[in-house]
A = this chain, B = another copy of it.
Amino acid sequence: MPEQNLSDSQNPNAGLLLIGDELLSGRTQDVNFPSIAKFLAARGIDLCEVRVVSDVESDIIAAVNALRERYTYVFTTGGIGPTHDDITADAIAKAFGVEIEQHPQAVEMLHKLFKANGVEPNDARMRMARVPQGGDLINSDKIKVPGFHIGNVFVMAGVPKIMNLMLEAVSDMIEGGPVVMSKSVRIERGEGDLAVPLADIQNRFPDISIGSYPFHEKGCYGANIVLRGRNENDLESAFKEVETLV
């Protein structure tokens, strides 16, 4: 059976690293993954892999290095605040084998924020200005705290509201590709009846990815068949064939 992988193409792809004990302990449910998945899909960037690791430096380093070697872009969320459990910036510096230092623009950004909030720019708060050497800020007027990028890695906050602002700002810094188009149809027949004809269609349209997602509702079962691809003609042709199975 041929292996379907839209990412075999030359389109940009991405890995995502979610960092935080609170996700793994089940205390907090991540919502950044789906936001980032949709953001990338809309820009024609294939999200190929996601990893979630805890606030352990060696685990963050290993994951960042595995992902940045493999994918066009890597996005991380979490661990860039001022407290002892915020170790992402240091881990990224170690992953790249560089020193970490205060970034002048981040220092300025934070001084402005702390002045506005009437809080003291103490050492802990100013830790947030630290960026691995060679890195630069994720810039936007809307962002008041520093996220940064180094090489192909974009380091963002874990708080969804801030993460989304950073993601928006990242939009101008990355190159997208042709967007994957998709068509889907709901078929109220068991997957077991659809499997052979679907596999046949899949074989004949290797650049279209055909997924079958079963549903079971009251008194009714079947599958949603989702076709995805960048070749519009093939997508239409394959879809027409799938529609005959309804």
Binding site for B on A (CB under 8 A): 1, 3-5, 7, 20-30, 33-34, 37-38, 40-41, 46-59, 81-87, 114, 117, 119-120, 122-125, 127, 159, 161, 180, 182, 190-196, 198-199, 202, 209-214, 216, 223, 226, 228
Quote the shortest CB–CB distance from A105 to chain B (angstroms): 19
Q: How far is the CA of A191 from the CA of B119 in the complex (A)?
A: 11
Given A119-B190, A125-B192, A192-B124: A198 touches B83 (CB 8 Å cut-off): yes
Residues on B with beta carbons closer than 8 Å to the beta carbon of A84: 1, 195, 198-199, 202, 210, 212
Beyond A50-B52, A124-B193, 19 additional pairs, beta carbon < 8 A: A1-B84, A4-B21, A21-B211, A24-B47, A26-B37, A26-B40, A28-B213, A33-B52, A48-B53, A49-B52, A49-B54, A51-B52, A83-B195, A83-B199, A83-B223, A85-B202, A119-B190, A119-B192, A124-B192
